[in-house]
Every structure is written in C-alpha cells, then in structure tokens.
Amino acid sequence: MSVRTTRAVLVAATAVALSAALVAPALAAVPAGSGHEATRKAAEAAVGAGVPGVTVTARDGRGTWSATAGTGNLATGAPRSADDRYRVGSITKTFVATVLLQLEAEGRLSLDDSVEKWLPGVVRGNGHDGGKVTLRQLLNHTSGIFNYTADEDFGRTYFLKDGFFEHRYDTKKPAELVALAMTHEPDFAPGTSWNYSNTNYVLAGMVIEKATGRPYGAEVRDRIIKPLHLTGTSVPGTRVSVPGPSSRAYSKLAETATGPTYDVTRINPSIAYSAGEMISDSTDLGRFYTALLRGKLLPREQLAEMTTTVPVDARNGYGLGLMKSELSCGVTVWGHGGGIHGSVSEAVTTKDGRHSLAFNLNGDWSGDTGAVIEAEFCGTDKAPERTGSRGPDLT
C-alpha cells in the first residue's frame, strides 16, 4: 500500500468548554470580504485541483465565517454545506489523548505506566515488548510500535478497489489490529525516535476501556461530546453511515490520482477504531480545540503535558495527540489532521484559542490542505513543506 501526500500537516486547534455554561455562544456568520478571501480562494483551488467539494469554517475576533466550494454529491450535483458532518479520521486521536490525560488527572493511571501493566501480553512478538513502552510514548508516537495500516495486505484489503468493495463492511476488533502490527518488527526502540503509528492509538483506546470498564467511545461522549454540546460529533462504532446533514465521500481506491472515482461514504469504521473512527463537523471541531487549548478540558499540568512536543521536522512537533506547526508567516497553530476513505480534514487553532479553522475535503486524492491553513492564518496560499500523508490511508 502506498501512502500518498495529500494532507498538509497534522496541525492545530484550541479546545472546547467543559460544560454548557463554558461554551461560548455562536456568533453570526461574517459576510464575504471580511478577511477570509484568501481562504475561500484556497478552498476553490482545491476543487480546481480535483477535489469534489470543500466545507470550511473559521472563527476569530470578528465572528464565525463559513464557506463551501464544489460539489457534495457527484450524482445529483448538490453543493456542500457548512453544516456537513464528515469522517474526521485521526482527529479522533486528540479526543482519545484528552480522555487519557483526564484519567491521569483523576489518579486512575499514569502516563509513565507501561502498556504491559494495562494490557498484559498484547504488545509482544517480533521484538515488541509492552513492558518497555509507556502510555506517553503511545500518545506522542515515540513507541516504535509498527503501524498496522502500513501492512501491505491490510492496504490491499481495505484501501484498494477490489479489496474495499469486498471488505468495506467488515468488523475488525481492536485486538486484531494490534495483532497484525505484532507480525512486524518495531520501527525503533521505544523512546529513540518518532514515527506516526495508528497502532499506538488503538492501544490507547484499549487502555481507556481497561481503566474505566467502559467502551472508549462512551468515555469520549460523557467527558467531551455531551459537556461541550458537540451535536454533530459521534463515535460510530460499526455504524456504516454518516448522519445528515452530510455529503458523499469519494476516492480513487488506487495508488494513483487518476482513473475512476468511487463513492466510499458507507464503510464500517471499526478498521480505524480509536485511531480514526469519529465523525464531526467544522463548528464542533473548532469549539473542541478552542476549549482544549484554553484549559477547559484538562488541568494545567495535563495540558502542559499535552503541549510538550517532540520534533517531527523543522516546523512541526507532536505532543500528546496534538500537533504544533509553525506557518510561513511565523504564526504557530495547534491541532490535528485526519484522513480516511474519501475524507480529508484539518482542525487548527492558535494557542490562545482566539482564531480557529476546521475544514473537510470530500475526496482523498488531491487538494492542498496546507494552502488552506496558510491562507487563513497568513493571508497567503503559500504552504511550507509539511509532514502528513494522504488517503485512502488512515492518517
């Protein structure tokens, strides 16, 4: 399976409020011409590059601005909506990391605990040793544990055309995903390097379930979604549909960006589990990251842990389920990106939570997400080189 560069970077976001009283009221939409024209043009450029459609929402001191470009349904020609719900892929990771940090704040676990302590015998084989990997190393991708979505057979089965249409409704257990990773050697010894691995966050979800006795999705709902009134956000489990309002999701299901385009909206997201199964919308994502970075979801100590990063490259660092990215104009944003079949998303914010951006492309083979982020925060579509990967992989 080849992983193509399509998402710009794992980037920013602020956080969202812990209770209804803490959630800021929605502001009136800002009319066109109020400072977001570069963002609009970058979204239109993504459509010009082949993405079916884009939906984008930004919030700053002037209010909330939304725009759409292109098509939400290639069969009917219906446009995208600012209210679209979509699969957010690895943006799920920030929700999962937040729950684990909340559990640490409650004294129910420590991020310095080994994976072996919580999941005995699960991380073992071909050089993997859960006794040498900490929960912190799962969250910041320094564990060295092999990324199960990089397995070639898994890629052919779930990301390329023939395999996808045969297996799109398969249910995969998290233990099966981890077991697949264990058939490979680790990427490096724990703590000695950095490499993005979806297996880390499958394990993180399993630890949440072991520590609480409840599904990780129930903890996400009760600790984040409900208190923040994120009405467009859900943890689907094995549900194959995306709740409305929503657009269709499209992929080439190939290792090239040419050829036929397929509707891949319906899929059993258990293949992503706590590494990337969630659904949300742009308003909810902006609210979540704003509240998070403003300290509404985590105590100061845990937020400091989350925002302590390890270097990824010259401009990017990875914290605990949170990416720090320096843009070309010197602005630093925090958040995460996500890619899953037919859906590429980004949610970023300044650290003070005063300026947030969230958007989605309903095609996974084209479009420069970095240019959209640069346009919003720097007023230009010049995008520096970023770290990330494009669908139809889980990113």
Catalytic residues: 90
* Closest to 224 measured CA to CA, from 127, 109, 101: 101
User: What's the rounded Cα separation, in Å, for the pair 272 and 258?
Assistant: 25
Strand partners, 264: none
Contact 101, 94 (CB under 8 A): no
Residues 349 and 290 sit within 8 Å (Cβ to Cβ): yes
- Return d(Cα 390, Cα 363) in angstroms, integer: 10
